[in-house]
Chain A
């Protein structure tokens, strides 16, 4: 009772509510910090550290390259088949890592959500950003491998960031949706694993998109409406083989290329809307 400020005229600090800009900045800083610490955490305790993230894809590439080109001999008709498989695989892995990581993300971060006030969207976003950092690392390995196999950089390589951005938007949209669905339905996880497997085979990773046009032409348009093979079609032309068809070419009617783009935007908007609808009550339903 004695430790009271006697100076009764002491100014009480004027309180300001945080502005929207400050809130947005906090959201981005928080996302980046969580992503970076998750990403750094992968290298902790491993002897090889950062190098390990490069060694692993190289080892995988070696196997894939050997099996598909030397043993199966599939590179006879398709130029740089091995490089295509590797790039597609790495990009698909980014999609799979983001979406599968998002499924349980809200539940595993329960203590954070229950004890601190922040927009929960930070959590799926940070998962996507961590996966993006991983993709960046492995893409370096892919480029080294590509140049070693005779695929040289061209100006069209600059399309890659745009393609990755599209894939990022798609994966984040799906991830946001899955993370809040998992809070309600715990069997989302095995279901999504199966869906990922189906997508893997439906997305032209072990084969090139034009194979579908040759052997199952009636499915080709439908196949290209799936945003992932659509992105890979464009990726193949931009990075690996300038003679391969672009996405507008592949559809014959260029306007059709807006379908996979629309699907990406649609899925992202739906995911965002659903997440924002569910997220205010997510902390108490965990």
Chain B
């Protein structure tokens, strides 16, 4: 069966098929975790003795709610979610640091027992001592730890600083040391929590190579991140959690999109009314918004189609008014302007009480940031302004790929050697 899939489909599909058939590495079976937050903390024996029967009341915080997923051996599984969504609690439950209240978590194989790099690093000890202690914490014997020491230091590129106390290290150096120590451990299931945020570009590249090696070796990696491009690049599958609930499990690209929507969708808020021009006697702009697939939206993924919309209400009769849209980015650069006149669209004549909705569909080729829409309406010629409402609607453009510049033009990269 494997042979057939390998022949018939792309390597990525073959890998997916192979993973789907692999034995489970981690089974999370309807796991829930609730924290109790007492209203009054009885933290002394004295108070307990003075008020032995006073009952403590508490709030319950559902950190994880019925999480149910099976991660296959050899899978690179991403967990994404906003701050406070329960990612770290889930990781701690996986590592056995917390116990779920309901449900069960079964891990097949050896799990790396830490969730953060450099746990237990003592700032007053040298790198040498810290590496040995850290390795022992991860389950190596002292002899194994001492034997792998040189490899660790070489990987971290810290040969010159071996006998320096850790408190004199830069934070990036400490993380390099932590990562180098962590990958020495031959665990079957690795938990990796947000390691790529620190370290310089060269070291990040090294980490990526290391991830590729782990993938090639068929290790199971559970990877928590905010970096959607990393999630897409490495993960076979990903899971989005929000307030302890699993929102989605699936293909990383879809998860990354959902994550961005979750993040930016919420930021759009009511605008206050400054920057309005024209006397609005003849007509006024009632509303402006962005639409995606016919639905109002505040965010869009790069290269998706999005429509700028404005509704105009007429109080007096007008012939051929000019409707304009202008988009500017977060630093105030006008990025794109169009009007019905330039586009050579005749608007027609309107009587008092009539309404008009104007729509301009564009492809979101711009770089990822926040954009403001300014709709305008003027008499023929465009000089006699009837109504302008600056920054009436906003749009977040988000992407999962790193870009520079103002726009991300559709492009193809080609290389020819020789």
Residues of chain A whose beta carbon lies under 8 Å from any beta carbon of chain B: 1, 3-6, 8-13, 15-18, 22, 25-26, 29-30, 32-34, 37, 40-41, 44-45, 111-118, 184-188, 191, 280-281, 283-284
In residues 62-101 of chain B, which contact A (Cβ within 8 Å)? 73-74, 92, 95-99
**B→A interface (CB under 8 Å):** 2-3, 5-6, 11-12, 14-15, 18, 22-23, 25, 35, 43-46, 48, 73-74, 92, 95-99, 107-111, 113-116, 119-120, 122, 124-125, 129, 132-133, 136-137, 139, 141-142, 188-189, 212, 215-219, 232-233
User: What is the chain A residue whose CB lies nearest that of B212?
Assistant: A3
Q: How far is the CB of A251 from chain B (nearest CB, A)?
A: 35
* 12 new A-B contacts at CB < 8 Å, known A15-B189, A112-B119: A6-B11, A8-B18, A13-B188, A13-B219, A15-B110, A17-B108, A37-B129, A111-B119, A112-B120, A115-B115, A185-B44, A283-B97
Which residues of the partner chain B approach A1 to less than 8 Å between Cβ atoms? Answer: 12, 232-233
Contact A41 B125 (CB under 8 A): yes
Q: Which 6 A-B pairs have the closest CB atoms?
A: A15-B109, A185-B45, A187-B44, A117-B96, A117-B113, A15-B188
- Do residues A116 and B141 form an inter-chain contact, with CB atoms below 8 A? no
B110 touches A18 (CB 8 A): yes
Q: Is the CB of B98 within 8 A of A30?
A: no
Give the number of residue pairs across the A-B interface with Cβ within 8 Å.
Answer: 125
Contact partner, A5, options B48, B99, B215, Cβ 8 Å: B215
Find chain B residues with CB under 8 A from A15 CB: 25, 73, 108-110, 188-189
Residues of A within 8 Å of B48, CB to CB, are 185
Residues of A with C-beta under 8 A to B119:
111-112, 115-116
Residues from chain B with Cβ under 8 Å of A30 in the complex: 136-137
Q: Which of A25, A33, A115, A186 has a CB less than 8 Å from the CB of B132?
A: A33
A116 near B97: Cβ-Cβ < 8 Å? yes
The 8 Å CB contact of A113, one of B97, B110, B129, B216, is: B97
Min CB–CB distance B213 → chain A (angstroms): 10
Q: Contacts A15-B110, A44-B124: A284 and B15 contacting too (C-beta < 8 A)? A: no
Contacts of B99 in A (CB 8 A): 280-281
Q: How far is the CA of A118 from the CA of B22 in the complex (A)?
A: 29
Residue from B15, B46, B92, B141 in contact with A29 in the complex, judged by beta carbons closer than 8 Å = B141
